[in-house]
């Protein structure tokens, strides 16, 4: 008998569909209604860092150049106090096969799908991950379906997302595009069930393990080139995979003193599920609309337990604005001669400001760049903003109002990242976890929650008023 494919029926089969589509039973990692064994989940990939390096090396991924941004460093020093202004480096992740660090995640997920005998892979993503999965599926001989949230109710697509659809198709994938709304997950599950493909989730342990090589390479390249570990690594933060994987790789390399800083574009005030707000965004990723909910509630993704848990690893969470990121993207092109996509430069915008807090001999590494192309470039993104009634002008980025304006800094000295309230995010994760479970936390739960937010048990107890 054919299975009922209505919304309630398909969503009701979520657990079985996911179990079949991941080749992994998450139930075995659960320890209590609150806690699960994160280390065991990460070990479940069964791949060592060396094996992941080998898989990536076979598929055009990894070993990207670490470029010193000498002119941008020189410019940052003009605005820093004497003796300050760290050397800024960037990991040129656009050199990966499909043009972003997401290839690291996709290479492992697709290799794993192939090993388990799946005929195809699927991913729900409007970002670079789609192209990454499509590219790896092409290399490894599997079918690929990407499901995107792409259009508003008038059928107007975000130029950045439309370009990503084009790229997926160019790499042989089927692209399913939807209007705004979280029920994208229903379509995703339904097709996953029909096809029996592997869910190449961004949040699987294979995906996150794939990013560990990025942190590891940063450490090794810094030691080789500079004879020291990086003092600070700045990672753009959306779903949390970049922060988690990079930090884990740095730890595996023994970089115990390196500070890991998350960076997101502040889009406070714009609803991510709003049809009207959808095209008022001028950057579709790397922003707080993903960054904050995924950091404070990692398990609302497309897998039962997300392997991306950024609050376990970040030392600071900084924000920047759309205008500052656009300006930095143009700066990277004009002063360093490399033209890259804007969203990937979120961390660079924060880094320009953070470098000014560090002494001149400090080493600051920005963990990524991404490819640029039609739609995915500051000119079409700013032109699109104007078409949608967003005011684009020069000014002080502190006047930034997401959805109303894009303020390009009047001069580079005005580029200043802000510290988000990390303590509040940590407290929020703790409270949400306990509320969701609906039970009194045990001592073991409190210890788990302390690890979840990189704090001690006393911090967790204080957050819960215990």
Residues in contact with another protein by the rule CB under 8 A: 7, 71, 74-75, 78, 120, 143-145, 150-151, 153, 155, 157, 159, 162-163, 166, 169, 172-183, 186-187, 191, 194-195, 271, 273-277, 327, 330-331, 334-335, 374-375, 377-384, 386, 392-394, 408, 411-412
Contact between residue 295 and residue 240 where contact means Cβ atoms under 8 Å apart: yes
- Compute the distance between CA of residue 281 and CA of residue 385 in angstroms, rounded to an integer: 8
**Closest by alpha carbon to 394, among 327, 446, 439, 461?**
327
Instruction: Name the minimum Å distance from CB 112 to another protein.
Output: 19
Rounded (5°) CA angle 256-95-336: 85
User: Cβ contacts of residue 50 below 8 Å, gap of 6+?
Assistant: none
Instruction: Name the minimum Å distance from CB 361 to another protein.
Output: 22
Instruction: Name the minimum Å distance from CB 377 to another protein.
Output: 6
Instruction: Name the minimum Å distance from CB 85 to another protein.
Output: 14
Instruction: Name the minimum Å distance from CB 291 to another protein.
Output: 19
Structure tokens at 11: 């969503």
Instruction: Name the minimum Å distance from CB 129 to another protein.
Output: 18
Question: What's the order of all strands across the beta sheet hosting 363-366?
Answer: 66-68, 87-91, 363-366, 232-236, 259-265, 316-320, 418-419
| C-beta of 78 vs 228, nearer to another protein | 78
Instruction: Name the minimum Å distance from CB 9 to another protein.
Output: 13
**Closest by alpha carbon to 258, among 229, 236, 237?**
229
| C-beta of 286 vs 375, nearer to another protein | 375
- Compute the distance between CA of residue 293 and CA of residue 285 in angstroms, rounded to an integer: 13
| C-beta of 404 vs 442, nearer to another protein | 404
| C-beta of 311 vs 355, nearer to another protein | 355
| C-beta of 113 vs 144, nearer to another protein | 144
Instruction: Name the minimum Å distance from CB 140 to another protein.
Output: 15
| C-beta of 163 vs 445, nearer to another protein | 163
| C-beta of 84 vs 185, nearer to another protein | 185
| C-beta of 30 vs 387, nearer to another protein | 387
DSSP state string for 334-387: HHHS----SGGGHHHHHHHHHGGGSBTT-EEEE------BTTBSHHHHHHHHHH
- Compute the distance between CA of residue 327 and CA of residue 400 in angstroms, rounded to an integer: 14
| C-beta of 187 vs 442, nearer to another protein | 187
- Compute the distance between CA of residue 67 and CA of residue 363 in angstroms, rounded to an integer: 12
Instruction: Name the minimum Å distance from CB 381 to another protein.
Output: 7
Instruction: Name the minimum Å distance from CB 6 to another protein.
Output: 9
**Closest by alpha carbon to 446, among 460, 463, 428, 429?**
460
Rounded (5°) CA angle 95-248-88: 50
Rg (CA), the chain: 21
| C-beta of 14 vs 442, nearer to another protein | 14
Residue with tokens 């029996």: 196
According to DSSP, residue 149 is labeled: E
DSSP state string for 61-89: -S---EEE-HHHHHHHHHTSPTTB-PEEE
């Amino acid at each position: 008998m054919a299975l009922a494919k209505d919304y309630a029926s398909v969503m009701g089969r979520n657990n079985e569909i996911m179990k079949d589509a991941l080749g992994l039973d998450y139930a075995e990692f659960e320890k209590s209604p609150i806690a699960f064994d994160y280390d065991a989940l990460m070990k479940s990939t069964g791949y060592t860092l060396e094996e992941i390096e080998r898989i990536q090396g076979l598929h055009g991924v990894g070993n990207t150049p670490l470029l010193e941004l000498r002119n941008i460093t020189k410019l940052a020093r003009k605005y820093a106090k004497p003796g300050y202004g760290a050397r800024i480096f960037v990991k040129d992740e656009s050199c990966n096969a499909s043009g972003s660090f997401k290839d690291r995640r996709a290479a492992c997920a697709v290799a794993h799908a192939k090993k388990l005998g799946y005929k195809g892979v699927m991913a729900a993503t409007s970002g670079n991950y789609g192209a990454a999965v499509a590219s790896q599926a092409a290399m490894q001989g599997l079918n690929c379906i990407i499901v995107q949230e792409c259009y508003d109710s008038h059928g107007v697509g975000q130029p950045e997302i439309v370009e990503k659809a084009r790229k997926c198709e160019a790499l042989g994938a089927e692209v399913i595009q939807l209007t705004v709304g979280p029920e994208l997950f229903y379509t995703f599950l339904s097709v996953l069930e029909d096809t029996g493909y592997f869910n190449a989730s961004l949040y699987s342990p294979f995906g996150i393990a794939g990013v560990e090589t990025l942190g590891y390479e940063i450490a090794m390249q810094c030691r080789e080139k500079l004879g020291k570990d990086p003092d600070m690594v700045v990672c753009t933060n959306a779903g949390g995979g970049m922060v988690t994987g990079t930090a884990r790789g740095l730890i595996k390399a023994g970089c115990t003193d390196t500070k890991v800083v998350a960076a997101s574009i502040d889009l406070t005030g714009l609803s991510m599920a709003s049809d009207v707000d959808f095209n008022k965004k001028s950057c579709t990723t790397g922003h707080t609309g993903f960054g904050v909910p995924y950091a404070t509630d990692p398990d609302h993704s497309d897998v039962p337990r997300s392997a991306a848990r950024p609050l376990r690893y970040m030392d600071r969470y900084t924000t920047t604005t759309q205008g500052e990121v656009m300006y930095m993207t143009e700066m990277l092109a004009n002063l360093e001669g490399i033209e890259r996509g804007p969203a990937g430069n979120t961390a660079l915008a924060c880094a320009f400001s953070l470098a000014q807090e560090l002494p001149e001999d400090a080493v600051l590494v920005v963990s990524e760049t991404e490819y640029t192309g039609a739609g995915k470039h500051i000119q079409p993104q700013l032109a699109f903003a104007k078409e949608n009634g967003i005011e684009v002008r020069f000014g002080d980025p502190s006047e930034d109002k997401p959805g109303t304006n894009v303020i390009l800094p009047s001069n580079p000295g005005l580029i200043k990242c802000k510290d988000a309230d990390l303590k509040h995010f940590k407290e929020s994760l703790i409270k949400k976890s306990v509320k969701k479970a609906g039970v009194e936390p045990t001592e073991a739960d409190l210890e788990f929650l302390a690890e979840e937010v990189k704090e001690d048990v006393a911090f967790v107890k204080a957050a819960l008023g215990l």
